[in-house]
Structure 1
Amino acid sequence: MSGELIWVVCLLAFAVVLFATGKVRMDAVALLVIVAFVMSGTLTLSEAFSGFSDPNVVLIAALFIIGDGLVRTGVATSLGSWLVKMAGSSEAKMLTLLMLTVAGLGAFMSSTGVVAIFIPVVLSVSQRMQTAPSRLMMPLSFAGLISGMMTLVATPPNLVVNSELLREGLEGFSFFSVTPIGLVVLALGILYMLLMRFMLKGDDPTTQREGWKRRTFRDLIREYRLTGRARRLAIRPGSPLIGQRLDDLQLRERYGANVIGVERWRRFRRVIVNVNGVSEFRARDVLLIDMSAAEVDLREFCSEQLLEPMVLRGEYFSDQAMDVGMAEISPIPESELIGKSVREIGFRTRYGLNVVGLKRDGAAIEGALIDEALRLGDIILVVGNWKSISLLVKEGRDFVALNPPAEMSEASPAHSQAPHAIFSLVLMVALMLTNEVPNPIAAIVACLLMGKFRCIDAESAWKAIHWPSIILIVGMMPFALALQKTGGVDLVVKGLMDVGGGYGPYVMLGCLFVLCAVIGLFISNTATAVLMAPIALAAAKTMGVSPYPFAMAIAMAASAAFMTPVSSPVNTLVLGPGNYRFSDFIKLGVPFTLIVMAVCVVLIPVLFPF
């Protein structure tokens, strides 16, 4: 072993220790690695920064943006709502549908993002079913990891392995090359969790930590005594409201009717649009009105303005949570608005929100609130679109937001653009399947279309990219090159050949899987794939067999990060909500990893012959 190789191995060991301890951010460690390689002369400057020019890094960044577009348009949340509706009160049915939905959605967007979306859904379902969240949280994380086995673009390790094949001058995998293996693993994963979920005790639902109990719209409506005040009134043809501006109508002053939103037909469906003082009403609009003046005769009001009462279910605001927001705010001590009434502030015109409730000294104030002077300590309930609520909170000059309701996780600022987001996703998949354009270009086209259709804006797109992951990939790529230059890859391959080379390619396939899984206990699955991909290809070359089964084994083993809560961000996300211990992941993760390994050793050679 040369001195240069010893230096590379020591640097790798140092990076692994930092990854495992978590004392230093992983992206910072990756950048330190780049600096160390250049300063020591192990790699040239262009070699050390070669990861930044890798097309797959661009592809991974684009997929983060596409995933966020699916979240912002409500596509992901709609799937969650459908899941709750279909599962009913059956835990087994919920577990099965949950894993199928998460794996399917995670095939096209970040598995970490998918799991983050479904955590509040699972918490809500657990409370309703009176079962511990731990019974569903680990199946959620397992499904998120299995989703990486569903398509080529489902997870960065797949793209890293594919990139290594292309770098070696070989043909890459197709979009659905990994899917048959993923489907088998998913089916076994669902069966495994249905049998093993009883080992996940967790906390009793009655003793769940308060931090995970969030109030809902229904709770706020009850606390502020809004029940019975909300109305849905359709504007009939010939109504004097048509074409009139809201401020000119003075509905609050004349009838105590506070218009908090309007349902309007757009693209063959009703959407809720925000209202302000200059909003004009149209025929067929449906007004959402808070009737604060109890003495007003609703029948007389509807008769005078040609309005038709419509059904308003108790779940209405929860069902519309993608578009309509509800939040509690409180004036800050330095605010100039203390002592002024809602009318004097011009609250609706100023903030685009409607005040529908006010609490003072812990008690809700009933009656008309428009002329009530605000005091320090008052808690105000506002209704409007989530964007306006976010802007009010972001400014922070006059008000501070209190605990957000549970429905905030369902907020979809671009809900009306959901069909366009789905079209962009389908087009990207179609382009990738036809191989007419490179995968990174197909993803960029989808990103540009989402921007064009306003599914996502530039600021959100930039924030959607998980930069630590990108830097980690870029920073770990030089390790593979450094190991090749210093003979480290050849040394590892020789060790593997000594252990399993004489027993045939099947044993070597298992050895590669085990080595990849063990390394994945200490560093991220993406970094593991970066290190193991060149070793797998070199092993195939030494044995004189096809590189594709060995490359596929690395991709699958990197996604099989079931064994510890730190093996993947997906596991880390569910650790708290599920109230798991480290041993819980070992107890369920190790047996399932062995099952996945057996599937890979048997199935991969069938799909990709040696």
Structure 2
Amino acid sequence: MKTELIWVLTLLAGCVAMFAANRPRADVVALLVLILLPLSGIITVPEAMSGFSDPNVLLIAALFVIGDGLARTGVSHHVGDWLIRKADSRETRLLVLLMLAVAGLGAFMSSTGVVAMFIPVVLSVTNRLRISPSRLMMPLSFAGLISGMLTLVATPPNMVVDATLKHAGHAGFSFFSFTPMGLVVLAMGTGYMLIARRWLGGKDESTQKTGRRGLKHLIQEYHLETHGRRFRVLPDSPLDGHQLKTVSMRKDYGCNVVAVDRQVHFRRKLFNPGANMVLQAGDVLLVDVSAASGLEKMEADLKLQGLPLTGSYFMANSREVGMAEVLIPPESDLIGKSTIKAAFRRKHGLTVVGLRRSGKAMAGPVLEENLKLGDVLLVVGPWKSIRQLQSQTKDFIVLSLPADVEDVAPAASQAFYAVLSLCVMVTLMVTGLVPNVLAAFLACLLMGAFGCVTMDSAYKSIHWQSLVLIAGMMPFARSLEITGGVDLAVEGLTYLTGGAGPRVLIGSLFVLTAVIGLFISNTATAVLMAPIALSMASHLGVSPVPFAMTVAIAASSSFMTPVSSPVNTLVLGPGQYRFGDFLKVGVPFTILVLLVTVLLVPWLFPLK
């Protein structure tokens, strides 16, 4: 084996390990690849950087903007409203319509974004129908994954595989090449979920931990009876007449002031405590003491009087101080940061008093805990501040409140033009009048001209991490080709299958792609497997199209674990799932998709 090939394979193994551990971030790993491959002399610098000028990378960036336009104009929320009306309190109809709606939207915009927008809708509907959210959350994520099999632009792996075909001199895929296969999988998935939902939860669970519950439920679930305290500021307290920031209660005593209850004229009023708020004797401080040490010392030092705190206190003041659960989505800037480092309270006027991870409320202090994708935060503060979180869909998904179109859709009046822009793009792509990337750019310009997006929202909507990952991993394909790694993989796979026919090799290719996708992103999987698929077809002397299609379908078949795709991770908390739930439901369905792929792909895309 050549020294160069050993180096490339070692680097590839290191990348897979870092992807699996998620340390460092996937885009940082891709940048390391861009540096190490040219320095080793395997490829040139222009070859390493060619991914950033690839039309498909630019197309993916444009599709993020188009998805943002559909969200800002409320198109996706109108679909959710339609879903609620048409379901008519029937769970079976709701499941079918939900999967069709999510798959339909996901065919033209980010499946992760679609699933994130539908989570509050599903929670609201399940609460009204008095069923467990677990019966619909996994169908929601499966529909999001299946949507990637419906159109060329539905998911980045499709475009990566298409680009690989074109670079090899083949015609590539049309806009609807994936649709026949995707529709079959969607129909099969919908029928499968009508049966599998029975494994995911009972019917009469209206008080599930993820529905829109009352304050009493939240207090009990996050054990706030043991976290909260009330203290009255006495006349001789050093806090009297001074700003709250003059005494560092969190640093010195491990306490966090959530609200200030003050007598104003003839009634008591609750205030959101900023650092510059001047306290007065008689003020009652509502304090989170989850990380407190030495409460008696704090009372003595600050001249405070302890008062009882019960859940009814929150109820009595629920018009002014509210609670809400917010979910951390994949694009959130909070991932990897603690709420203290992210200055959560200063930015949003809300205090984090609880954290739920993998369905369980964490005991002890949570403010210094580094947040992860899928974490659910319990925040306390003014309802106005809570509702403002709804407009920041990049960083938060508000679970305990129904999404309000007026708040989350600032360009609701331009919905017609957003749909028109989308139709123009699809028409141009289907007819082939212009290249796909130009059609997407034109749709972006139309959305900007009609006010569906702003320049700021457009740039913020682009998931730069995904683009860097795709562009950074593309040189691997060229490196493996130059060093003979692709030929080695093809020979190894052919040897293992004993020289079997094309259908057996297609099945083996599907299995290998799906297994690799358990550890690294589906985009990176497609980048690595697409050249192997084309070389395998060349080795057999058959058309590469069915092999390329198999890689694309397998890359989207991330049904087996909650960490194999961001959409699975998103529904893990709201659905109260365990790791085994995805294995129980996802593995059989992946096998079904494998069988359908082996049977239909060679028929839809002839080998000769």
The TM-score with structure 2 as length reference comes to 0.71
User: How far apart in 1 are the matches of 2:156 and 2:271?
Assistant: 41
User: How far apart in 1 are the matches of 2:195 and 2:451?
Assistant: 44
User: How far apart in 2 are the matches of 1:125 and 1:365?
Assistant: 23
The CA deviation at 1:41 is 2.2
The CA deviation at 1:38 is 2.3
The CA deviation at 1:395 is 9.2
Deviations 1:320-339 (A, max 9, x none): xxxxxxxx984635269x9x
One-letter identity of the residue aligned with 1:52: F
One-letter identity of the residue aligned with 1:58: L
**CA pair 396-141 structure 1, distance change in 2 beyond 3 A:** closer
User: Residue in 2 aligned with 1:422?
Assistant: 419
2:147–2:154 CA contact under 8 A, matched in 1: yes
1:418–1:455 CA contact under 8 A, matched in 2: yes
Count of residue pairs the alignment pairs up: 457
User: Residue in 1 aligned with 2:519?
Assistant: 522
**CA pair 7-431 structure 1, distance change in 2 beyond 3 A:** same
**CA pair 555-181 structure 1, distance change in 2 beyond 3 A:** same
1:509–1:601 CA contact under 8 A, matched in 2: yes
The CA deviation at 1:570 is 1.0
Query: Is residue 467 from structure 1 mapped to residue 450 from structure 2 by the alignment?
Result: no
Deviations 1:421-441 (A, max 9, x none): 000000000000111110000
User: Residue in 1 aligned with 2:539?
Assistant: 542
SS of 2:27's equivalent? helix
**CA pair 204-528 structure 1, distance change in 2 beyond 3 A:** farther
Deviations 1:233-288 (A, max 9, x none): xxxxxxxxxxxxxxxxxxxxxxxxxxxxxxxxxxxxxxxxxxxxxxxxxxxxxxxx
User: How far apart in 2 are the matches of 1:191 and 1:128?
Assistant: 24
SS of 1:561's equivalent? coil
User: Residue in 1 aligned with 2:225?
Assistant: none
1:330–1:402 CA contact under 8 A, matched in 2: no
User: Residue in 1 aligned with 2:183?
Assistant: 183
**CA pair 88-482 structure 1, distance change in 2 beyond 3 A:** same
Which residues in structure 2 correspond to 1:482-493 (within 5 Å)? 482-493=479-490
The CA deviation at 1:52 is 0.5
2:470–2:523 CA contact under 8 A, matched in 1: yes
User: How far apart in 2 are the matches of 1:15 and 1:193?
Assistant: 35
User: How far apart in 2 are the matches of 1:75 and 1:421?
Assistant: 8
The CA deviation at 1:40 is 2.1
One-letter identity of the residue aligned with 1:456: V
2:121–2:403 CA contact under 8 A, matched in 1: no
2:526–2:551 CA contact under 8 A, matched in 1: yes
User: Residue in 2 aligned with 1:609?
Assistant: 606
2:507–2:594 CA contact under 8 A, matched in 1: yes
Query: Is residue 403 from structure 1 mapped to residue 386 from structure 2 by the alignment?
Result: yes
1:549–1:604 CA contact under 8 A, matched in 2: yes
One-letter identity of the residue aligned with 1:131: I
One-letter identity of the residue aligned with 1:600: T
User: How far apart in 2 are the matches of 1:194 and 1:433?
Assistant: 33
User: How far apart in 2 are the matches of 1:531 and 1:142?
Assistant: 24
2:349–2:385 CA contact under 8 A, matched in 1: no
Q: Which has the larger radius of gyration?
A: 1
SS of 1:503's equivalent? coil
User: Residue in 2 aligned with 1:197?
Assistant: 197
User: How far apart in 2 are the matches of 1:522 and 1:445?
Assistant: 36
Query: Is residue 168 from structure 1 mapped to residue 168 from structure 2 by the alignment?
Result: yes
Which residues in structure 2 correspond to 1:113-262 (within 5 Å)? 113-201=113-201, 205-209=205-209, 213=212
C-alpha RMSD of the superposition: 2.9
Q: Report percent identity of matched pairs.
A: 60
User: Residue in 1 aligned with 2:224?
Assistant: none
Q: 1:332 aligns with which of 274, 277, 280?
A: 274
One-letter identity of the residue aligned with 1:26: A
Deviations 1:194-232 (A, max 9, x none): 0111111389735533x763679xxxxxxxxxxxxxxxx
SS of 2:416's equivalent? helix
User: Residue in 1 aligned with 2:73?
Assistant: 73
User: How far apart in 1 are the matches of 2:91 and 2:179?
Assistant: 27
1:565–1:582 CA contact under 8 A, matched in 2: yes
User: How far apart in 1 are the matches of 2:441 and 2:141?
Assistant: 28
One-letter identity of the residue aligned with 1:536: A
SS of 1:205's equivalent? coil
User: How far apart in 2 are the matches of 1:363 and 1:127?
Assistant: 24
Query: Is residue 412 from structure 1 mapped to residue 395 from structure 2 by the alignment?
Result: no
The CA deviation at 1:76 is 0.3
1:202–1:579 CA contact under 8 A, matched in 2: no
Which residues in structure 2 correspond to 1:491-502 (within 5 Å)? 491-500=488-497, 502=499
Which residues in structure 2 correspond to 1:284-295 (within 5 Å)? none
Query: Is residue 597 from structure 1 mapped to residue 594 from structure 2 by the alignment?
Result: yes
2:121–2:402 CA contact under 8 A, matched in 1: no
User: How far apart in 2 are the matches of 1:329 and 1:90?
Assistant: 43
User: Residue in 1 aligned with 2:568?
Assistant: 571
User: How far apart in 2 are the matches of 1:151 and 1:554?
Assistant: 15
Deviations 1:75-118 (A, max 9, x none): 00000011011112211111111001100110010000000000
Query: Is residue 446 from structure 1 mapped to residue 388 from structure 2 by the alignment?
Result: no
User: Residue in 2 aligned with 1:434?
Assistant: 431
User: Residue in 2 aligned with 1:305?
Assistant: none
The TM-score with structure 1 as length reference comes to 0.71
User: How far apart in 1 are the matches of 2:489 and 2:67?
Assistant: 37
Q: 2:529 aligns with which of 532, 542, 551?
A: 532
One-letter identity of the residue aligned with 1:46: P
SS of 1:79's equivalent? helix
User: How far apart in 1 are the matches of 2:63 and 2:437?
Assistant: 9
Deviations 1:275-333 (A, max 9, x none): xxxxxxxxxxxxxxxxxxxxxxxxxxxxxxxxxxxxxxxxxxxxxxxxxxxxx984635
Deviations 1:492-518 (A, max 9, x none): 011122233622111111111111111
1:133–1:202 CA contact under 8 A, matched in 2: no
1:501–1:507 CA contact under 8 A, matched in 2: no
User: How far apart in 2 are the matches of 1:16 and 1:514?
Assistant: 17
User: How far apart in 2 are the matches of 1:416 and 1:206?
Assistant: 35
User: How far apart in 1 are the matches of 2:202 and 2:44?
Assistant: 52
**CA pair 22-205 structure 1, distance change in 2 beyond 3 A:** farther
User: Residue in 2 aligned with 1:511?
Assistant: 508
Deviations 1:362-397 (A, max 9, x none): 75799xxxxxxxxxxx769xxxxxxxxxxxx96979
1:83–1:98 CA contact under 8 A, matched in 2: yes
Deviations 1:410-466 (A, max 9, x none): 421000000000000000000001111100000000001000000000110011111
**CA pair 3-421 structure 1, distance change in 2 beyond 3 A:** same
User: Residue in 1 aligned with 2:549?
Assistant: 552
1:329–1:402 CA contact under 8 A, matched in 2: no
2:272–2:349 CA contact under 8 A, matched in 1: no
The gaps in structure 1 that reach 5 residues or longer are 217-327, 339-359, 367-377, 381-392
The CA deviation at 1:127 is 1.1
**CA pair 329-208 structure 1, distance change in 2 beyond 3 A:** farther
**CA pair 53-361 structure 1, distance change in 2 beyond 3 A:** closer
2:156–2:523 CA contact under 8 A, matched in 1: yes
The gaps in structure 2 that reach 5 residues or longer are 216-269, 281-312, 323-345, 351-380, 388-399
One-letter identity of the residue aligned with 1:476: M
One-letter identity of the residue aligned with 2:12: L
Deviations 1:169-212 (A, max 9, x none): 11111110110001110010011000111111389735533x76
1:214–1:406 CA contact under 8 A, matched in 2: no
User: How far apart in 1 are the matches of 2:503 and 2:151?
Assistant: 24
Query: Is residue 17 from structure 1 mapped to residue 17 from structure 2 by the alignment?
Result: yes
One-letter identity of the residue aligned with 2:212: K
**CA pair 130-482 structure 1, distance change in 2 beyond 3 A:** same
